[in-house]
């Protein structure tokens, strides 16, 4: 099946810093989503981005489908950005396939 690798696994930053999280995947995809898992375990949708670039406030994401990677940018980090960020993909041609998740990036923003 499709493989998803996220880096870095852990990231500790000071409030106000910027960060870039990376997601590499092993095959063509028709779905790529970025999630933030909050301390209560809820998966919050950040971006649905199988290709292209999107921005939402301090967050933006870019997926280069031909090179099989996606980047999540967080600018001017706040302590509330702490948590685990997951990238998840579904292979192209699979219709409504389930998502394959990476192991996540654990982000800690210190005040």
Partner 1 sequence: GAGVSQSPSNKVTEKGKDVELRCDPISGHTALYWYRQSLGQGLEFLIYFQGNSAPDKSGLPSDRFSAERTGESVSTLTIQRTQQEDSAVYLCASSLYPIYSYNEQFFGPGTRLTVL
What residue ranges bind partner 1 (CB under 8 A)? 30-31, 33, 35, 40-43, 45, 48, 86, 88, 90, 95-101, 103-104
Minimum Å distance from CB 56 to partner 1?
14
Q: What is the Cα–Cα distance from 34 to 67, expressed in whole angstroms?
A: 18
Minimum Å distance from CB 43 to partner 1?
4
Nearer to partner 1, 44 or 64 (CB): 44
Contacts 24+ apart (CB under 8 A), 7-10: 7/105, 8/105, 9/103, 9/104, 9/105, 9/106, 10/105, 10/106, 10/108
Q: Characterise 39 by phi-psi region: left (phi > 0), alpha (psi -120 to 50), beta (else).
A: alpha
Minimum Å distance from CB 34 to partner 1?
11
Nearer to partner 1, 29 or 77 (CB): 29
Nearer to partner 1, 41 or 111 (CB): 41
Minimum Å distance from CB 17 to partner 1?
27
Q: What is the Cα–Cα distance from 108 to 13, expressed in whole angstroms?
A: 6
Nearer to partner 1, 14 or 45 (CB): 45
């Amino acid at each position: 099946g499709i493989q998803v690798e996220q880096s870095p696994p852990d990231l500790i930053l000071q409030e106000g810093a910027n960060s870039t999280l990376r997601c590499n995947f092993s095959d063509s995809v028709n779905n790529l989503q970025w999630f933030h898992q909050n301390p209560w375990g809820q998966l919050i949708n950040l971006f649905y981005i199988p290709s292209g670039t999107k921005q939402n406030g301090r967050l933006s994401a870019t997926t280069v489908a031909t090179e099989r990677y996606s980047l999540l940018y967080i600018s001017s980090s706040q302590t509330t950005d702490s948590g685990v960020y997951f990238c998840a993909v579904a292979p192209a041609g699979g219709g409504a396939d389930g998502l394959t998740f990476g192991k996540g990036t654990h982000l800690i923003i210190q005040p």
